[in-house]
Amino acid sequence: MKRFDVCTDTQLADFNRAPLPGGETHGLRVLPDGGVLVTSGAVVSRLDSTGALVQTYRVSTGEPQYWAGVDLVGDGTFWAVNYLSSNVYKFDLTTGAVLASFTTGTPAQTVVDVGVSPGAPR
């Protein structure tokens, strides 16, 4: 993940210390502790504030996985989109457990992002 200082117009060192385990990067959200949650192909990765990989998330449904969009709920959970199935999953940030999921009803490879609206039912 590239970093850039817009104030000094300077390219900084990559945020991640090592290549992400899932491949290319798509969606990302900055966590309250300065870490980052990033969809990186085959997994969703969580990096700490120093850029070290601390956890990966995936589902054990047997469906092919290619993670695209991600959004934080604010209560220690997040939603992520599996682009290959167009299914959406809610994960516990700490344990990695899948807490909820739904099928969008659209064909595979049509859903690329998810957004959580503050105040919406959880």
- For 61-86, how does the pLDDT look when each residue is reduced to its tens digit (9 = 90+)? 889 999 999 999 989 999 999 999 99
- Structure-model confidence comparison of residues 96 and 115, the more confident one: 96
Nearest to residue 101, comparing CAs of 59, 67, 71, 73? 59
What does DSSP assign to residue 73? -
User: Is residue 120 very low, low, confident or very high in pLDDT (cuts 50, 70, 90)?
Assistant: low
Return the domain boundaries, the chain: 14-103
- For 33-51, how does the pLDDT look when each residue is reduced to its tens digit (9 = 90+)? 999 999 988 999 999 999 9
Q: With respect to CATH, is domain 14-103 assigned 3.30.200.20?
A: no
Helix (H, G, I), strand (E, B) or coil at 5: strand
